[in-house]
Homo-oligomer: A and B are copies of this chain.
Amino acid sequence: MSNKNKASITELLRASKLSITDTRVKILELFMNSNGALEHSSFEKLAGQTFDRVTVYRTLQTFLDKGIIHSIPTTDTSIRYALCKSDCSEHDHHDHHVHFKCEECGTTTCLEDTDVPEIHLPKGYAMHNVDVVVSGVCKQCK
């Protein structure tokens, strides 16, 4: 982890009015170092470091609330999380990209360049958020 990233993590936390703690910094480092979305269990295993389960739950919830990370829907029981891009904020939070889950390697990635297409709902429905999850085989596994 470069000093540049360390600094930007600190800034990110400060911008969200969160106090800068060890756990928060380390969890954000994990996000930045991994290319895919992380599920909850990843945080206890990784980095030779042990995090308390409770702390991880609370930290992720805080990050969600502040719009620092977003959750990606799955059809298994686990929820996956990924860092939000700059166009997310606490009160206006939506992902403008498609999520891709590889059936081979199991990783979920955000396809930043793939736009979420427009959806036309039936009359009477109000749309707040659209989640698109594509499953298939990724570049690396093909």
Binding site for B on A (CB under 8 A): 71-77, 79, 98, 100, 103, 111, 113-114, 117-139, 142
Contact = CB atoms under 8 A, between A and B. Distances in A.
Nearest to A71: B75
A130 B132 CA distance: 7
A80 B98 CA distance: 21
Given A120-B114, A121-B111, A132 B131 contact: yes
Contact of A128 (B103, B111, B132, B139): B103
Give the copy number.
Answer: 2
B117 A100 contact: no
A125 B98 contact: no
Given A74-B73, A76-B79, A132-B119, A125 B113 contact: no
12 contacts: A73-B74, A75-B79, A76-B79, A114-B119, A119-B132, A121-B136, A125-B136, A127-B136, A128-B137, A129-B136, A131-B131, A132-B132
A138 B139 CA distance: 38
A134 B132 CA distance: 9
A118 B117 contact: yes
A82 B8 CA distance: 44
B126 A122 contact: no
Nearest to A129: B135
B124 A139 contact: yes
